[in-house]
Every structure is written in structure tokens, then in C-alpha cells.
Amino acid sequence: MAEIIQRDGTWVFDGDALRLTPGRDRNVGLLRKELGELTVPLGALAGVSLEQGKKAGRLRLRLRDGADPLLQATGGKLGEPNDPYQLTVEADRFGVAEYFVDEVRNALLLDEVPAGPVDGYLLPGPGVPLSASAGDGTATFDGESVRLDWNWKTEEAKSAAGARTLALGDITAVEWHPAVGLENGCLRFSVRGAETKAPPKYDPNSVELWGFKKDPLMALIAAAVQARLPHPAVSVAEEAAPPAAGTGRAAIPAPASEADHDALLRRLRELGELRREGVLTEEEFALAKQAVLKRL
């Protein structure tokens, strides 16, 4: 087991999953505090790194595309204080952080976890019911529908029709954007049959965000809804698959064997490099090499 404890939080790796617990430091963002402890299965990881600075460094987890509904809904736009997959590391703990990185990387290698995208969420997303207030409204999600209530700062053209209730089955997409510079952010829902290009200020299916402290809490609503929508990979596959006679859509074709072969050869080269660098022992190298050769 590998563990690193910092004011920013505590990360623990037991070989199968990482447990990320936010710290109580004042620099920890509201979103991380609301999320609480996260459990990230090893299979959801694409990589881990340590960035060292003079006074402090940063541990970063890179998740596989499509593994986490939070990252899917926010598009990687979460800022440093609210990103649950970053951990500030003090300079005197760089050695512990390096050991942590090595343990995770070795596990990824030995378990042959691919770094590519997944076709289903591997993290559950925030629990419901859930409610957040920011910008010009309040968003509430109970697992079946989203309710949008407006406040006195809402544009009259949007608030005139009153509160909005959006059934989950009518929502085709959800996205969260932070305010950047002079451009406001938003929590936006795309609703079947009501597509619009109107700015969030006038869109009755959007909450406009102005860059205040509670804006990231709206990302929790986005993630909870995203986790209950069809996975993006499923939608892409359905669009790409040609129709099959009499049966709707054909099955998704398997990846080309040439591509698989090239990927496995690259894996073998990587294993050799890791053995030469001393990251892998001879026994670990032989075990991993045998597994790759079987797939070849």
C-alpha cells in the first residue's frame, strides 16, 4: 500500500483503487469538499505524474476518457482548487510522492490497464438528491428530473415563464463552463425538441454563472445528470454503425488486427525500457512480457 498525507488531502493506493480524501486546508475548493472521499478504480486511470517545484509540487492523476462523468460534463475545465485529481505536495515529501507514483505506474503496467477511452463510466458520479445555487438560479436534481428556479438577478425574458422542470428522458446533453475573463460561464442542458443557440442569459434551460465562489457546485449537478445519461461512446457507436438488414443497426466492428499488433509491439518495447531503467525486476518483466506475447 502507498499513502501520502498532505494539508491539501490524503491519497491512498491499495493496489486495486485509489482513495482520494480532500484536506481541510483553506485552499481546498468547495467542489472537492462537497465531493468528499473519492474511490478511483485502477482500471479508470490512464496515468499519474509528479510535477516538482522549488517550494511545492503537484501529483496529478490522468483518467481514461469517458471514465468519470464529472470530467465528461466539465470538459477538463475545473480549476486547481476544485480538481479532485490534483494534490499539492510539499517539497520535503517529494520522495514519498515519487514512491506513490512508482507504485501506481507499476500496477497499471502489471495489470495491463490500457490508456485509451472506455465505453462506460467507471465512477458513479455525485449522489442525489442534489441542489446548488449560483449565478442567476438554483438547480435541483432528484435523479429523475432537473428543476431550475430563478432569482431576482435573472433576466426577465428567462424568468417570466417561472421555474423549469426538465425530465431526465428529455435531456440529451449537459455541460458546465466556468466564467473566464469577461465571459460568463453556465450550466446548460440540451433538451430534445428545444435546441437553442441563445446565450445562457436568455436560455431558459441554462443557469448563467458569473465567476463567484459557488459556481463549481453547479458542476456537481452536471456530473450527476451526466452519470445517468447514455454514455457518449454509446451514442457515437450508434451513429457510426451501418444499418443491418432487418435488425436495425449492425454490431460495432472490432479494431483492426494490425492496430492491435502494433500496440502490443509498442508495449513490449516499453517493458524493455522499464527493465533497463530498473523500474521492473526481471521477474516482473518476464511476467508482463508473457502476458503480452499471449495476446500476440
**From 32-46, 93-107, 121-135, 222-236, the region with the lowest mean pLDDT:** 222-236
Q: Provide the β-strand partners of residue 90.
A: 56
Which positions ≥6 away from 70 have C-beta within 8 Å?
35, 78, 84, 123, 125, 126, 219, 220, 222, 223, 226
Give the SS3 label for residue 154: coil
Is pLDDT of 288 > 80? no
Q: How high is the pLDDT of residue 249?
A: 40
CB-based contact 274:285 (threshold 8 Å)? yes
What is the spatial distance between Cα 266 and Cα 135, in angstroms, rounded to a whole number? 49
Q: What is the pTM of this model?
A: 0.78
Q: Quote the distance between the C-alpha of residue 225 and its chain's center.
A: 13
Q: CA end-to-end span of the chain, whole Å? A: 32
Closest-CA residue to 1 (of 99, 122, 91): 99
Q: How high is the pLDDT of residue 51?
A: 95
R_g of the chain computed on alpha carbons: 22
For the segment 184-205, what is each residue's pLDDT rounded down to a tens digit? 999 999 999 888 888 999 999 9
Give the SS3 label for residue 197: coil
Q: Provide the β-strand partners of residue 51.
A: 58
**CA contacts within 13 A on the Cβ side of 188:** 19
Q: Classify the C-alpha dihedral 110-112-116-117 as positive or negative.
A: negative
The three grid cell numbers given for residue 286, joined into one nine-digit string: 518476464
